[in-house]
Amino acid sequence: MGKAKMDAAFKEVLDKGDKAFVPYIMAGDGGLENLQEQILFLEKSGATVVELGIPFSDPVADGPVIQEAGIRALANGTTLDGVLESLLGWKEERSIPIVLMTYFNLIYSYGIEKFAIRCKEVGVDGLIIPDLPFEEDEMVAPIFSKYELALIHLVAPTSPRSRIEKIAKATEGFLYAVTVKGITGVRNQYEDGLAAYLQELSEFSSVPVLAGFGVSSPEKVRELGKYCAGVIVGSKIVDLLHKGDREEIKDIIAASKKRTVVS
């Protein structure tokens, strides 16, 4: 379980010549009673790992689609405890690794070690904590390591090269490469130099580099997949799940598979 499970999931996909695909969903959007069905649908559709957002009243980098999903989830009464309890209830029915995306205040309030123990118990494999600066890692890293939880880092194209290199070497599970300046959401085009940035990250990092922020179509999945190990798709998946458009979600995930790539 934990880091090893995630490493194995990425290896299996990349060894086949496919690209990794990590969908982000907001826990409790549509009701926690639907979380099991949503994650099992994504697993069956070919996702590699699921990034599961915990709703928070003051998110840092979320665009409007994810913010609205968080508001809906909070209105449904979704709590961190409730999400963890839900994951425990059907732990044996899923094989896909689960990464929680949550804010440090929630973890700190819960109790860092108590939280790590609970994550291991319910079958969480890794954590993304977007508001925890890299320099403050030591607050959680030794505890997460003790319970085999991967601590996944984000890097931005605006960061100095020396900082990017340090983060890329420290991250576990995968490296979350932010592809744009600004918040999450659908983008029509990317910054110049993105290909070089992703390729450089892949040289620094000992784990797969995944591109996220603004990935919203099969074409973009294929485009970004040329330069790194795969993609993370958030706002588009959240929006399509909310609208009930499962076929388009399947099409986006399918674009990460080798058989769909046209040279």
- Give the CATH number, domain containing residue 46: 3.20.20.70
Over residues 238-260, mean pLDDT:
92
- Annotation marks residue 51 as catalytic: yes
Please give the Cα distance from 226 to 196 (Å, whole number): 11
Q: What is the 3-state secondary structure (H, E, C) of the chain?
A: CCHHHHHHHHHHHHHCCCCEEEEEEECCCCCHHHHHHHHHHHHHCCCCCEEEECCCCCCCCCCHHHHHHHHHHHHCCCCHHHHHHHHHHCHHHCCCCEEEECCHHHHHHHCHHHHHHHHHHHCCCEEECCCCCHHHHHHCHHHHHHCCCEEEEEECCCCCHHHHHHHHHHCCCCEEEECCCCCCCCCCCCCCCHHHHHHHHHHHCCCCEEEECCCCCHHHHHHHHCCCCEEEECHHHHHHHHHCCHHHHHHHHHCCCHHHCCC
Please, which residues have CB within 8 angstroms of residue 219's CB and are 6 or more apart in sequence? 255
pLDDT value of residue 189: 42
Confidence of residue 63 (pLDDT cuts 50, 70, 90): confident
Mean pLDDT of the chain: 91
pLDDT value of residue 262: 44
pLDDT value of residue 157: 85
pLDDT value of residue 193: 83
Please give the Cα distance from 7 to 26 (Å, whole number): 23
Closest CA to 79 of 112, 54, 50: 54
Q: Which residue has the higher pLDDT, 259 or 109?
A: 109
pLDDT value of residue 186: 44
pLDDT value of residue 192: 63
Please, which residues have CB within 8 angstroms of residue 199's CB and are 6 or more apart in sequence? 227, 228
Q: How many structural domains compose the chain?
A: 1
Q: Which residues pair with 252 in a beta bridge?
A: none
As a whole-number percent, the residues of the chain with pLDDT over 90 amount to 81
Tens-digit pLDDT profile for residues 90-121? 999 999 999 999 999 999 999 999 999 999 99
Structural domain harbouring 93 = 3-260
Please give the Cα distance from 254 to 260 (Å, whole number): 7
Please give the Cα distance from 73 to 83 (Å, whole number): 11
CB 23 within 8 A of CB 51: yes
User: Looking at 51, 125, 172, 239, which residue is catalytic?
Assistant: 51
pTM: 0.93
pLDDT value of residue 188: 42
Q: Which residue has the higher pLDDT, 62 or 90?
A: 90
Over residues 57-67, mean pLDDT:
80
Residue 209 has phi, psi (to 5 degrees) of -95, 125
Provide the 10 A C-beta neighbour count for residue 44: 11
User: Looking at 29, 62, 148, 239, which residue is catalytic?
Assistant: 62
Asked whether residue 46 carries a pLDDT value surpassing 80, the answer given is yes
Tens-digit pLDDT profile for residues 156-191? 888 888 999 999 999 999 999 998 764 444 434 445
Tens-digit pLDDT profile for residues 11-37? 999 999 999 999 999 999 999 999 999
- Annotation marks residue 62 as catalytic: yes
Please give the Cα distance from 12 to 16 (Å, whole number): 7
pLDDT value of residue 214: 83
pLDDT value of residue 1: 76
Please give the Cα distance from 18 to 233 (Å, whole number): 16
Tens-digit pLDDT profile for residues 205-236? 999 999 998 899 999 999 999 999 999 999 99
